[in-house]
Structure 1
């Protein structure tokens, strides 16, 4: 790798805004906010809107479309031809 052309890749803590769950990973993202992690070190903190912990598909809170009701409404409106 060429020196001086790559961004700084460092440990960062991401926090899910809706659940409060945090995880430590590495990223090139930076932040002025910091948080003390379980290991006693201080890392930059990035607050995100959605993670796998709060995403509806992964949590099971996904909306299920009522396709049967839509078909019946279509047939009621336009009739079976």
Structure 2
């Protein structure tokens, strides 16, 4: 490998700001702040949402039919194929 052209690959602490969940993975993500976790100091990368708080993963996602009933018409039309 060439010297000096690769990003720094290291442990990074990701913080989900919506629920306070922290997880540590190896990443090249930049971190301006530092945090100490389990006695190790590492960069902190703040997230607005993660799989712990996203509605799709938590099962709280709601279907919004903004197309004037088109989704329901489609489901009724092809309901016989789902069996």
**What range describes the TM-score normalised by the shorter chain of this pair?**
0.7 to 0.9
- Aligned twin of 1:18: 18
What are the superposed Cα offsets for residues 15-51 of structure 1, whole Å, 9 maximum, x if unpaired? 00101100001111222211111x2111111111111
Matches within 5 A, 1:24-43: 24-37=24-37, 39-43=38-42
**Which 5+ residue runs of structure 1 have no aligned equivalent?**
72-81
In the superposition, the TM-score normalised over structure 2's length comes to 0.71
- Aligned twin of 1:52: 51
Question: What is the count of residue pairs matched by the alignment?
Answer: 70
**Which 5+ residue runs of structure 2 have no aligned equivalent?**
71-83
In the superposition, the TM-score normalised over structure 1's length comes to 0.73
Q: How well do the aligned residues superpose, as a CA RMSD in angstroms?
A: 2.2
Structure exhibiting the larger radius of gyration computed from Cα positions? 1
Alpha-carbon distance in 1 for matches of 2:29, 2:63:
35
Alpha-carbon distance in 1 for matches of 2:65, 2:44:
40
Deviation at 1:2, TM superposition (A): 2.3
